[in-house]
Structure 1
Amino acid sequence: MTEKLQIEARRVGPTTAVLVVLGPLDAATVPTLLAEGAGLVDAGHCNLVLDLTSVASCDAAAAGVFLDLHQLARNLSGQVVLTGIRGLVQRQLERTAVIGTLRTTLNTRDALIMLGTAGTG
């Protein structure tokens, strides 16, 4: 049985949103993340912070979704920043070259500072 993915979306500025992701990211769950992130980008939130602190595992499908969201954001002059990466998630994202392609920070606060939206959320 696949664990359920939970996503908490928080808008922290006119062009920035934070997605707090809880649960595994795999082929069964990543369509939910893609739909949520793409919806935010379509609504003008072209800077996305994905907080992966509560994600214990991910597979290549998740890496693909991170890169898809990155491209959607870049089309609107935005970007995706990943935070809270550790353990198995970090190793998978290193193997798939997501780390090195996308910006990463230790935590959401640092990501918002990087995006120039700290203090707005």
Structure 2
Amino acid sequence: MSLDQDNDRERLNELMADHDEFFSSFGALDESVYADGAIPKLYKELTGLSISVVTSCDECVTYNIEGALDAGADREQLIEAIKIGVIGRGSVTYPTARFAFSVLEEHDIL
């Protein structure tokens, strides 16, 4: 995700939170769930990447790849998480998998 897209995502998240407590609470819940716990943050980010592929959410793919990289993921772990998503939903996820590979390429992972 480009810096502008990342800044825009953060700005819009704040805008939503400023206008309704639900969005603020949901954001806090998301941060809490993805924090280190019984399952390390790295594994949670990789799981999130698989789910993002299954749900065909490009913004989520980028967010989870960046989170996984920050948590120490390597190339093989990221590709395996993408493959789990593809297996979970089938060939309909190929456009999202291609997008995920473009994000890996953008981050010099490939």
TM bracket (short chain): 0.3 to 0.5
State the structure with more CA Rg: 2
User: TM-score under structure 2 normalisation?
Assistant: 0.34
User: TM-score under structure 1 normalisation?
Assistant: 0.32
Higher relative strand content: 1
Higher relative helix content: 2
